[in-house]
Every structure is written in structure tokens, then in C-alpha cells.
Amino acid sequence: MGRKACLCLFVLFCVIFSEAGESLGQDDVADVPCKELFAGGDKNKRYFLIGGGEGCGVPKRGFNLLVVLPGGDGGANFNPFVKRIYKNSLSKRYLVAQLVSVKWTAGQVIVWPTKRVAVEEQGFCAEEFVEAVVEDIKAKYRLNEQNIFTLSWSSGGPAAYAISVQDEKSVVGSYIAMSVFKPDELGSLAHAAGHFYFIEHSPEDKVCPFRMAKNAHKTLREHGAETKLVTYKGGHGWHGNVFGRIRKGVRWLEVGVRKESRQREPVERMTEAAAGEERK
């Protein structure tokens, strides 16, 4: 199956999925705080900020942030589903930023263009979009910068991998489900070192080959990343205990980052002490 055909299937499947979600109604998430915002005032950098409503106290270390790059067409119609993720998978210590993809041209196939995989008339890439949203939220809320993660699936996955291997990035962990992994489109994987990847995939997936998830797990680990590959039944799409799995995946990212931070602190203190001795 060619690249274009595969991406078209992503869009077809996930648009159908999102429409099914819409048909369920939104009564169950009517109480979830959600605001439509534009990062830096740019109308093309549209996102929904979920959580942090009135009366919500700021956590001691600041809010954790989950940045969502939806699959399918990456559109606003995934908002009810993302609200359900917030309500059923996350604690009130989280804010969720659901990014809305931009259709730069009528014939655009790639949903989330990146620096290396661009489209015609592209005004910015996914990497820049995420950083702009993080900065926009920082201007409004205090964030725990040790817990800034992405959640993506299907067509959102390639952009999440690209975001994770940047030289400078705000994101420290990535939850990537049912997506492809194409290392040749990412450039150097050196900056994957120290990054945390929770990769979820169904071996029965006929849209995105399971072998790509296994390759991501193996290749990223070889480059110094911390990775976990989890399988589920049902093929391409969100099946089974979706919100329970997302809760566990996000928790795995939190625990991994905290452990790494604790291991790094003694080394940093020793380095600072040594530097102080040299200055004397």
C-alpha cells in the first residue's frame, strides 16, 4: 500500500470514528471546562484548552500538560473524545491542549506536516505548533515542565515522533497509538535519548503495520530512549478499555520521568559542587 493510500485510510477511519463519537452526544462531558484559543494570536494555531476551570487550584508543582494531536483529519470534531480522555483518564492536575490541524491546500493529504515532511503553502510545522501552544499556555498557567507529554494516534503519530527528536523541545514523553514509524523521515535519532515513549498498537492492525510499532520500540531504545510497547485486541482504532489504557500509559510516562529526575539530581549536585570548587 502506498503512502498516499495509507494516509487516506487514516482519515477515512478516524473521521468515521469521530462522527460515531459525536452521535453519542456530549452530556457526559458537559461539565468539562474547555476554551477555544489561538496560540500567539495566530488564527491558524487553533487549539482547545481543556481543564483548569474556575475554582481549580494550581498544583504545587504546576499543571501537567498533555498535548493531543488527533488522528484522522486532526479536526475539531475530536473534541468530545478528548474531553472524555480528560475526564476519564487524567487527574485534575492536568491541562489538555487539543491541537486542530490546518488544511493549507485543498489537495493536502498529510494531516500534520513536519519540518522534514512538508506540504505546499505550509505556514508552520507541527513541531512549531506544539511549542507555540506550550508557550501560550505558560503565559496563562504555571506548568510542571517535567510532565509535558503528547498523545497522538494514527495520522498524528508521525508528527509526535518528529516532535520527540528535536534538538530543543518542551515535550519529555510521547504516548503514540496505532501509528506508523518511518525513521528515514525523522533525521538523526540522537535526541531520542532520554525521551519516554509509550507505544500502543494492535497486532491485528491492517492500516498501520504492527511491525512498525515493534521497530519503533527497538530502534528508539537503541538510541537511548525509554520505550514500552503495549498491545491490544481489535485492529486499527480505539477498542476495549480505552480510557483505562490511556490512564495507565500516561501514568507510565509520569513514573519514568520522575525516576529519571531522581537519578539525575545527585549527579547535577555533584557537578555544581565541583564547579563551585573550581571557582574558588
State the pTM of this model: 0.87
- CB 189, CB 166: distance < 8 Å: no
Enclosing H/E stretch for 280:
none
Measured distance CA(105)–CA(120) in Å, rounded: 7
Q: How far is CA 86 from CA 78, 121, 128, 250, 267, in A?
A: 13, 34, 24, 11, 36
Measured distance CA(76)–CA(47) in Å, rounded: 8
pLDDT for res 264: 59
**3-279 is classed in which CATH architecture?**
3-Layer(aba) Sandwich (3.40)
Rounding to the nearest 10 degrees, give the CA dihedral for residues 114, 13, 153, 250.
160
* pLDDT for residue 193 is more than 70: yes
| Model confidence pLDDT, tens digit, residues 174-189 | 999 999 999 999 999 9
| Model confidence pLDDT, tens digit, residues 65-83 | 999 999 999 999 999 999 9
| Model confidence pLDDT, tens digit, residues 99-116 | 999 999 999 999 999 999
pLDDT class of 273 with cuts at 50, 70, 90: very low
Measured distance CA(89)–CA(81) in Å, rounded: 11
Q: How far is CA 269 from CA 219, 257, 263, 276, in A?
A: 32, 18, 11, 10
pLDDT for res 25: 66
Q: How far is CA 200 from CA 10, 104, 151, 177, 223, in A?
A: 16, 30, 11, 5, 19
| Model confidence pLDDT, tens digit, residues 128-168 | 999 999 999 999 999 999 999 999 999 999 999 999 999 99
**Domain locations in the chain?**
3-279
| Model confidence pLDDT, tens digit, residues 194-237 | 999 999 999 999 999 999 999 999 999 999 999 999 999 999 99
- CB 212, CB 218: distance < 8 Å: no
Measured distance CA(94)–CA(72) in Å, rounded: 24
53 vs 77, higher pLDDT? 77
End-to-end CA distance of the chain: 65
